[in-house]
């Protein structure tokens, strides 16, 4: 961690306390850091803990969930224990967030302008006329040529891609140093996906932000990420630069994910699949959490969960195959 | 929007016409006429009754009777009450109307003031003691019949404690100014609560489920991620969305404001439209019954129109053009 590190998450544990005294360890000891201008991709299947990690950073975990341990340094300040009131001054200002489903992420009864102005007035203490001007600038920045009219429109008058642009405008309104994008393009069609990701990338360079890009699309990772964290069962199982991950994947889970990608070079009848599904977070197996689905499972895997150990410089793997 | 409202009002005309036909047909289908059921004075020649029927037009062919009735109500003449010795129906209704209106508005005000805050609280703290209490009250409120609740209320608060009057609308005509107003409100408390009970329970349940629903929605998460305080999240982002279905419900309630108080008014001996309606039915006073049915119909139509207009105001996704 350097002085300029935007976000540093250390030993984060977010548990959900279910009925019957069961504990779902949705995020179980996760460490990572993001530097300015860097895109860190967090990949994994549904249920692997990606979204809970991002919501933990925002401190938006709802009961029965709770951050039980760890530290989250945002611009050098630990925000994990801040009161809800203090957090409202950080959310939207020091960290912006966009979500998976643009169709429902904007409030249907307020205009686009109203929803952008709101965040500027809150965090930048702008007067409403100044905030309105700024909202128009922001909308132009994210690609609305006739922004003067767009601010008067309601979300239902915009398409999904357009709404996601509005979400980006809201997220970057206060020029945060960190942008969390939680599967920002999952609900969009492919051509729009590229536009939205390009826009996020452009904004990253413009504002020198760190971006935490949550996705399950390795194609997106290949295009936009600098570094990649592969998450499974609430833990990071492999951490590497993009090049290393694609050229030299170590963990059987990463290999499984890569094998499930269609390839232009190879002729295959069927795409690879990882057998089974992610076990629910309160039913993780005793040893390695991937042991129930791993093709290379060994006796040792059933008893002890391996640690995340460095394989080479900047490449860490959590697997008994590598020692 | 304006076009839509004008169109809606124009649609009223055929609907009202249809309503007059139904009302008239029902009155025709009812057995007997104003003279049956009364003890006929043996000293009066049956011929006189026949003459009277002829005078009132009761022997004309049905379409003629309908046409005569329709033209007279269109010219503002609602006819005369038969039971009340020829008093004008308009007079009878306008005398009772304000009382029923006060009662209805008072009941609705109580309903909204109680149900909406409790509904919101229940949704913010679901499964809390107050939420369970409110749920219990909700089921009780819906399950207890109006008249029974009214009687219990009279027994406890009027007879035992003597806090509120059990009947009527005013103590005396001599009161003026603020004392008269307070006296009127004092008389409205028990019937108002009785009339509003079921509504309170319904709105409370609606409000709870709507707010819970909205609080779990994506745009509320967005609002939180923008750093909105919990007050802003609740009052700005949640409430307006949660109120959309409530507005629809209130449109229906508007019609019930005038027609729904029949039983409550009876229990509290309240001189409103409800009591008048019941009396008229008992006495087969058709001119009054028919006029009131029409009035209720108009109120329901207007209520629905108002609901549609409000709907349009609170929910920008709805545009009628």
> How does pLDDT run across A33-57, given as a tens digit for each residue?
999 999 999 998 888 899 999 999 9
Write out residues 144-203 of A within 8 Å (CB-CB) of B: 154, 156, 167, 170
Domain count, chain B: 2
Distance (Å) from the C-alpha of residue A89 to the closest C-alpha of chain B? 6
| Spatial separation of the C-alpha atoms in residues A157 and A111, rounded to whole Å | 10
Long-range contacts of B144-148 (CB under 8 A, 24+ apart): B144/B197, B146/B194, B146/B195, B146/B197, B146/B198, B146/B263, B146/B264, B146/B267, B147/B263, B147/B264, B147/B266, B147/B267
CB contact under 8 Å between A88 and B227, yes or no, is: yes
pLDDT class for A105, splitting at 50, 70, 90? very high
pLDDT class for B36, splitting at 50, 70, 90? low
Residues of A in contact with B240 (CB under 8 A): 109
* pLDDT tens digit sequence for A179-210: 999 999 888 888 889 999 999 999 999 999 99
Residue A169 pLDDT: 94
- The minimal CB distance from A106 to the residues B219, B228, B315 is found for B219
Q: Which residue has the tokens 């149900």?
A: B115
B320 CB within 8 Å of a chain A CB: no
Mean pLDDT of A107-128: 94
Strand partners, A40: A212, A227
Residue B222 lies in a domain: no
The percent of residues in chain A predicted with pLDDT above 90, rounded, is 74
B218 CB within 8 Å of a chain A CB: yes
The highest-confidence range among B4-8, B38-42, B132-136, by mean pLDDT, is: B132-136
Write out residues 297-316 of B within 8 Å (CB-CB) of A: 314-316
Over 60: is that where the pLDDT of B38 sits? no
The residue count of chain A comes to 323
- Comparing alpha-carbon positions, the chain A residue that sits nearest to B125 is A63
Report which of A147, A219, A200, A155 is spatially closest to residue A38, judged by C-alpha positions: A200
Dihedral Cα B119, B121, B126, B130, nearest 10 deg: -90
Q: What is the largest CA-CA distance in chain B?
A: 88
Q: Which residue has the tokens 């839509």?
A: B4
CA-CA-CA-CA torsion sign (B42, B45, B49, B55): negative
Residues of B in contact with A106 (CB under 8 A): 219, 222
Domain of residue B173, CATH code: 1.10.3720.10
Residue B81 lies in a domain: no
Pair B109, B167 in one domain? yes
Residue B12 lies in a domain: yes
Distance (Å) from the C-alpha of residue B244 to the closest C-alpha of chain A? 10
CB contact under 8 Å between A105 and B224, yes or no, is: no
Residues of B in contact with A89 (CB under 8 A): 227
| Spatial separation of the C-alpha atoms in residues A8 and A258, rounded to whole Å | 27
A309 CB within 8 Å of a chain B CB: no
Assign B76 to helix, strand or coil: coil
| Spatial separation of the C-alpha atoms in residues A158 and A162, rounded to whole Å | 6
Mean pLDDT of A241-270: 87
Dihedral Cα A153, A155, A158, A161, nearest 10 deg: 140
| Spatial separation of the C-alpha atoms in residues A20 and A22, rounded to whole Å | 5
- The minimal CB distance from A60 to the residues B224, B237, B240 is found for B224
- The minimal CB distance from B225 to the residues A85, A97, A156 is found for A97
Distance (Å) from the C-alpha of residue A225 to the closest C-alpha of chain B? 23
Mean of the per-residue pLDDT values of chain B = 84
Please state whether A263 falls in left (phi above 0), alpha (psi between -120 and 50) or beta.
beta
Residues of A in contact with B223 (CB under 8 A): 107
pLDDT class for A1, splitting at 50, 70, 90? low
| Spatial separation of the C-alpha atoms in residues B100 and B234, rounded to whole Å | 35
CB contact under 8 Å between B230 and A84, yes or no, is: yes
Mean pLDDT of A275-293: 89
Confirm if A179 and A201 have CB atoms less than 8 A apart: no
Distance (Å) from the C-alpha of residue A109 to the closest C-alpha of chain B? 6
Pair B47, B113 in one domain? no
B228 CB within 8 Å of a chain A CB: yes
Best B212, B218, B226, B239 member to test A by mutation, with max A CBs in 10 Å, is: B226
Over 70: is that where the pLDDT of A277 sits? yes
Residue A141 pLDDT: 92
Residue A46 pLDDT: 86
- Apex B190 CA angle, B189 and B191, nearest 5: 100
Best B222, B243, B247 member to test A by mutation, with max A CBs in 10 Å, is: B222
Neighbours of A220 (CB within 10 A): 21
Write out residues 152-211 of B within 8 Å (CB-CB) of A: none
Over 90: is that where the pLDDT of A154 sits? yes
Residue B60 pLDDT: 81
Pair B100, B155 in one domain? yes
Please state whether A313 falls in left (phi above 0), alpha (psi between -120 and 50) or beta.
beta
Over 90: is that where the pLDDT of A71 sits? yes
A121 CB within 8 Å of a chain B CB: no
- Comparing alpha-carbon positions, the chain B residue that sits nearest to A98 is B222
Mean pLDDT of B90-103: 87
Residues of B in contact with A107 (CB under 8 A): 219, 222-223, 237, 241
Judged on CB neighbours under 10 Å (0-12, 13-18, 19+), B56 is middle
Pair B274, B147 in one domain? yes
DSSP state of B41: P
| Spatial separation of the C-alpha atoms in residues B100 and B113, rounded to whole Å | 20
Pairs of residues, one from chain A and one from chain B, whose beta carbons lie less than 8 Å apart:
70
Residues of A in contact with B225 (CB under 8 A): 58, 60, 91-92, 96-97, 99
Alpha helix positions (H), chain B: 2-29, 46-56, 62-74, 89-124, 129-143, 146-153, 177-215, 218-225, 230-231, 239-259, 262-267, 273-282, 286-314
Pair B106, B63 in one domain? no
B143 CB within 8 Å of a chain A CB: no
Residue B233 lies in a domain: no
pLDDT class for B95, splitting at 50, 70, 90? confident
| Spatial separation of the C-alpha atoms in residues A16 and A270, rounded to whole Å | 38
Q: Looking at B74, B103, B121, which one is the last position of a domain? A: B74
Pair B308, B178 in one domain? yes
Residue B87 lies in a domain: no
Report which of A229, A182, A179, A242 is spatially closest to residue A206, judged by C-alpha positions: A179
CB contact under 8 Å between B237 and A119, yes or no, is: no
B115 CB within 8 Å of a chain A CB: no
- Apex B176 CA angle, B174 and B179, nearest 5: 105
- The minimal CB distance from B316 to the residues A60, A154, A167 is found for A154
Residue B85 lies in a domain: no
Pair B296, B185 in one domain? yes
Over 70: is that where the pLDDT of B74 sits? yes
- List the beta strands (DSSP E) in chain A: 7-17, 23-34, 39-43, 65-74, 77-78, 95-98, 178-182, 210-215, 227-232, 235-241, 309-312, 315-317
Pair B124, B174 in one domain? yes
Domain that holds residue B38: 2-74
Over 60: is that where the pLDDT of B37 sits? no
Pair B298, B160 in one domain? yes
Q: Which residue has the tokens 């009302």?
A: B23
Q: Can you give the three-state secondary structure of A230-289, one letter per residue?
A: EEECCEEEEEEEHHHHHHCCCCHHHHHHHHCCCCCCCCCCCCCCCCCCCCCCCCCCCCCC
| Spatial separation of the C-alpha atoms in residues A105 and A163, rounded to whole Å | 8
Q: Looking at B44, B74, B104, which one is the last position of a domain? A: B74
Q: How far is CA B236 from the centre of its chain?
A: 31
Pair B101, B203 in one domain? yes
Residue B321 lies in a domain: no
Strand partners, A133: none
Judged on CB neighbours under 10 Å (0-12, 13-18, 19+), B16 is middle
| Spatial separation of the C-alpha atoms in residues B102 and A241, rounded to whole Å | 74
- Comparing alpha-carbon positions, the chain A residue that sits nearest to B311 is A109
Pair B202, B249 in one domain? yes
DSSP state of B40: P
Assign A228 to helix, strand or coil: strand
CB contact under 8 Å between B315 and A108, yes or no, is: yes
Residue B234 lies in a domain: no
Over 80: is that where the pLDDT of B254 sits? no
Find the helix or strand (DSSP H, E) in which A116 lies.
helix A112-124
Confirm if B106 and B159 have CB atoms less than 8 A apart: no
Pair B167, B44 in one domain? no
Over 80: is that where the pLDDT of A104 sits? yes
Residue A312 pLDDT: 85
Residue B33 pLDDT: 65
Strand partners, A239: A229, A316
A82 CB within 8 Å of a chain B CB: no
Over 80: is that where the pLDDT of B320 sits? no
Residue A149 pLDDT: 93
Over 70: is that where the pLDDT of A88 sits? yes
A91 CB within 8 Å of a chain B CB: yes
- The minimal CB distance from B218 to the residues A84, A96, A101 is found for A101
| Spatial separation of the C-alpha atoms in residues B13 and A270, rounded to whole Å | 67
- The minimal CB distance from A104 to the residues B218, B229, B315 is found for B218
The percent of residues in chain A predicted with pLDDT above 70, rounded, is 99
């Amino acid at each position: 961690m350097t002085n300029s590190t935007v976000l540093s998450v250390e030993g984060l544990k977010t548990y959900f306390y279910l009925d019957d005294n069961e504990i779902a360890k949705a995020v179980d000891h996760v460490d990572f850091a993001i530097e300015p201008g860097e895109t860190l991709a967090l990949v994994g299947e549904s249920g692997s803990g990606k979204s809970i990690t991002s919501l933990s950073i925002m401190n938006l975990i709802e009961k029965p969930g709770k951050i039980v341990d760890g530290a989250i340094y945002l611009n050098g300040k630990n925000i994990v224990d801040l009161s809800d009131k203090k957090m409202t001054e950080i959310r939207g200002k020091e960290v912006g967030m966009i979500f998976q489903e643009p169709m429902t992420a904007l409030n249907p009864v307020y205009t686009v302008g109203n929803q952008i102005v709101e965040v500027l007035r809150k965090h930048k203490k702008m007067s409403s006329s100044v905030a309105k001007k700024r909202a128009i600038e922001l909308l132009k920045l994210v690609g609305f040529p006739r922004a003067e009219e767009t601010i008067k429109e309601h979300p239902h008058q915009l398409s999904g891609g357009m709404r996601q642009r509005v979400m980006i405008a809201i997220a970057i309104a206060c020029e945060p140093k960190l942008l969390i994008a939680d599967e920002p393009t999952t609900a969009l069609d492919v051509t729009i996906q590229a536009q939205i990701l390009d826009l996020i990338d452009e904004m990253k360079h413009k504002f020198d932000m760190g971006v935490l890009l949550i996705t399950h699309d390795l194609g997106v990772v290949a295009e936009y990420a600098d570094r990649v964290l592969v998450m499974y069962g609430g833990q990071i199982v492999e951490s590497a630069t993009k090049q290393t991950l694609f050229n030299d994947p170590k963990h059987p889970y990463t290999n499984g994910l890569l094998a499930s990608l269609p390839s232009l070079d190879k002729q295959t009848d069927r795409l690879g699949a990882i057998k089974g599904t992610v076990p629910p977070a309160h039913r993780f197996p005793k040893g390695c959490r991937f042991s129930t689905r791993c093709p290379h499972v060994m006796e040792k895997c059933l008893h002890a969960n391996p640690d995340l150990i460095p394989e080479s410089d900047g490449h860490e793997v959590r697997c008994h195959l590598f020692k | 929007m304006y076009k839509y409202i004008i169109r809606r009002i124009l649609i009223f005309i055929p609907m009202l016409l249809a309503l007059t036909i139904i009302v008239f047909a029902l009155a025709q289908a009812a057995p007997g006429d104003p003279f049956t059921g009364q003890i006929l004075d043996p000293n009066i020649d049956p011929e006189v009754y026949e003459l009277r029927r002829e005078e009132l037009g009761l022997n004309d062919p049905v379409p003629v009777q309908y046409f005569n009735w329709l033209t007279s109500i269109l010219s503002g003449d609602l006819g005369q009450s038969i039971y009340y010795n020829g008093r004008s129906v308009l007079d009878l209704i306008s005398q009772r109307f304000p009382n029923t209106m006060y009662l209805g508005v008072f009941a609705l005000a109580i309903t909204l003031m109680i149900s909406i805050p409790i509904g919101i609280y229940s949704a913010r703290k679901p499964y809390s003691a107050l939420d369970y209490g409110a749920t219990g009250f909700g089921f009780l409120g819906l399950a207890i019949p109006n008249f029974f609740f009214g009687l219990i209320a009279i027994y406890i608060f009027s007879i035992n404690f003597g806090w509120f009057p059990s009947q009527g609308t005013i103590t005396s005509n001599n009161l003026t100014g603020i004392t008269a107003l307070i006296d009127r409100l004092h008389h409205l408390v028990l019937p108002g609560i009785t009339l509003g009970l079921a509504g309170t329970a319904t709105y409370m349940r609606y409000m709870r489920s709507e707010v819970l629903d909205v609080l779990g929605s994506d745009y509320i998460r967005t609002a939180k991620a923008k750093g909105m305080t919990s007050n802003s999240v609740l009052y700005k982002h949640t409430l307006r969305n949660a109120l959309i279905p409530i507005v629809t419900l209130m449109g229906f309630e508007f019609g019930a404001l005038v027609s729904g108080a029949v039983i409550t008014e009876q229990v509290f001996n309240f001189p409103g439209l409800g009591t008048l309606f019941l009396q008229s039915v008992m006495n087969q006073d058709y001119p009054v019954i028919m006029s009131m049915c029409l009035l209720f119909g108009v109120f329901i139509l207007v209520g629905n129109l108002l609901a549609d207009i409000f709907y349009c105001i609170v929910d920008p996704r709805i545009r009628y053009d």
